[in-house]
């Protein structure tokens, strides 16, 4: 693993050791507040707000010298219920919880960008949003619905990154249009009649009904979705039955839908509902289908702002820029980009043997400083633009 600047490396390692789940990021919040207050103590153009409605969130507003706009920069701060298996000497101190998606890198980079602008007052206003609950509970949506982004705390545009282990450390990746898919949680309950295994004629087997539902759902993507657009339906949990010689009268499925456009997600939703109704009729049972998208909309980058972002990164000889393909991973920053124009991009962390959410993910910390340099450079460039 490569090295960042000593203070940033220390911050990263400290954050890595205290991962916390969505809406419970209290220790992380306190650590971030300590760093933010330390960095802003010597300046008079910073304001800090902790929303009552979202107490682990932090907003930091740096007032510009000649503001034409307020530029938002968001980082997520929560972790995953994953038991770490990296062998690092600074591994997670919280059993069963890990920064397996690299939000510790996200936060460290955000603190580095904030630190830079506390030493170089920005021209435009800069709003930093340290957001809880990205991995679950859609923290971006909660923040917006709670009215956090109002008045001087309202950004005119929003930017944010996600780390990518498949890109070399410090590389910046982006694309026009959709970067990440939108996601919908799927829960399906099947209710029939329990019975003895020897007398199937007196029962209504929900293992069979649920299995047939899964089989039919597989044809939605293969036969009802434009293959150029694409979509994904995955059922990762199937619970039914209690013992080998009892026909199960109930079954429960949990799954996820992924689509690169909101239109595609809604189309898949409709097809799932149609399949559920068909199973009810065919198997004379009750099928309760629940679809919950929450704030996990597709991450659709704004055309104008993203073109400017890409152009800056491509022309900067100090930036290793890569044009990337859309990914089926989900991100609740899509909700904020549906409310404010902006751009999400990748920061390479150079761990190609491991995927995001892996218990073995070890980001190369050589990514941190190049990420900070690329972002601060772009933000300074953006402040020179008239519109």
Is 103 annotated as ligand-binding?
yes
Whether 266 sits among the annotated catalytic residues: the reply is no
280 labelled binding-site residue: no
Is 101 labelled a binding residue?
yes
Q: Is 135 a catalytic residue?
A: yes
- Between CA 115 and CA 124, with CA 118 as vertex, the angle to 5 degrees is 115
Q: Is 162 marked within a binding site?
A: yes
Round to whole Å and give the CA distance between 172 and 322. 6
- Catalytic residue from among 20, 39, 76, 205: 76
Q: What is the CA angle 380-12-91, rounded to 5?
A: 160
135 annotated as a binding-site residue: yes
Q: 84, 135, 280, 300: which one is catalytic?
A: 135
Nearest to 232 by CA among 242, 241, 220, 243: 220
10 Å Cβ neighbour count for 176?
Answer: 15
Q: Which residues fall in the annotated binding site?
A: 101, 103, 135, 162, 357
Known catalytic residues are 76, 135
- Which segments are annotated as binding site for Mn(2+)? 101, 103, 135, 162, 357
């Amino acid at each position: 693993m490569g090295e960042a600047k000593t203070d940033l490396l220390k911050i990263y390692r400290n954050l890595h050791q205290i991962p916390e789940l969505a809406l419970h990021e209290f220790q992380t919040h306190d650590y971030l507040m300590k760093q933010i207050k330390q960095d802003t103590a010597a300046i008079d153009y910073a304001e800090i707000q902790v929303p009552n409605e979202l107490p682990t969130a932090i907003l930091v507003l740096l007032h510009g010298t000649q503001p034409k706009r307020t530029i938002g920069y968001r980082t997520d701060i929560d972790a995953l219920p994953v038991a770490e298996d990296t062998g690092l000497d600074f591994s997670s101190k919280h059993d069963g919880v890990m920064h397996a998606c690299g939000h510790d890198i996200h936060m460290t980079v955000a603190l580095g960008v904030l630190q830079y602008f506390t030493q170089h007052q920005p021209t435009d206003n800069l709003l930093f949003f340290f957001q809880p609950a990205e991995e679950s509970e859609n923290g971006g949506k909660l923040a917006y619905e709670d009215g956090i982004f109002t008045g001087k705390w309202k950004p005119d545009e929003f930017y944010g990154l996600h780390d990518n282990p498949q890109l070399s450390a410090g590389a910046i990746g982006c694309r026009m249009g959709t970067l990440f898919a939108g996601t919908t949680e799927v829960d399906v309950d099947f209710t029939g009649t329990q019975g003895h295994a020897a007398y199937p004629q007196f029962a209504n087997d929900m293992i069979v009904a649920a299995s047939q539902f899964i089989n039919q759902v597989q044809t939605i993507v293969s036969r009802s979705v434009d293959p150029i657009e694409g979509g994904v339906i995955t059922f990762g949990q199937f619970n039914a039955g209690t013992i080998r010689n009892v026909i199960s009268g109930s079954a429960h499925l949990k799954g996820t839908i992924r689509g690169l456009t909101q239109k595609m997600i809604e189309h898949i939703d409709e097809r799932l509902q149609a399949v559920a109704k068909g199973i009810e009729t065919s198997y004379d049972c009750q099928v309760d289908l629940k679809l919950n998208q929450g704030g996990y909309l597709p991450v659709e980058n704004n055309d104008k702002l993203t073109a400017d972002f890409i152009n800056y990164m491509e022309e900067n000889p100090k930036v290793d820029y890569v044009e990337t393909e859309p990914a089926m991973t989900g991100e609740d920053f899509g909700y904020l980009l549906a409310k404010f124009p902006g751009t999400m991009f990748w920061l390479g962390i150079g761990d190609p043997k491991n995927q995001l959410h892996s218990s073995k993910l070890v980001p190369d910390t050589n990514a941190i400083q190049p990420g900070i340099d690329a972002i601060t450079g772009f933000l300074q460039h953006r402040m020179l633009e008239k519109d």
